[in-house]
Amino acid sequence: MIELKIPEIYWGDEKAVSLLGEHFTRRRSCGDLFYSGASFERLGGGGDAEHVEDRFDSNDMVAITTLSVFLEPHGAINLLTDSDGHWARLLSLIPRDAFWRTPEVMHS
């Protein structure tokens, strides 16, 4: 059984809960997750770890590709170098538990 925390905005909408559950739990015949984006926030141990909080690293660049997002090379360099601290300031404004503030919802 895989534990999921569903944001409150989706509560009461059975279809949304069903789709989220499928997105994060559906498996391919070989056993790995069907949707590559189902693990984007966990790559490299997750982005909330103290050694990577409030900054982008190479794991983040790979993570966005699991969501079928393309990033221009200069954009990636800008995010990774953050010479003026712009991205760090913006990331620091996002609460660590912004996505996971809801009671746990279980799906099998």
Higher pLDDT, 15 or 56: 56
Joined tokens for residue 80: 């990774």
**Domain ranges (residues) in the chain:** 2-102
Torsion angle of C-alpha atoms 50, 53, 55, 60, degrees rounded to 10: 100
Helix axes 58-65, 73-81, angle to 10 degrees: 140
Q: Is the pTM of this model over 0.85?
A: no
What is the tens place of the pLDDT at every residue in 28-80? 999 988 888 888 777 887 777 788 889 999 999 998 888 888 899 999 999 99
Q: For all residues of the chain together, what is the average pLDDT?
A: 80
pLDDT at 106: 38
Exposed, middle or buried: residue 31 (CB in 10 Å: 0-12, 13-18, 19+)?
exposed
**How many Å is the maximal CA-CA distance in the chain?**
46
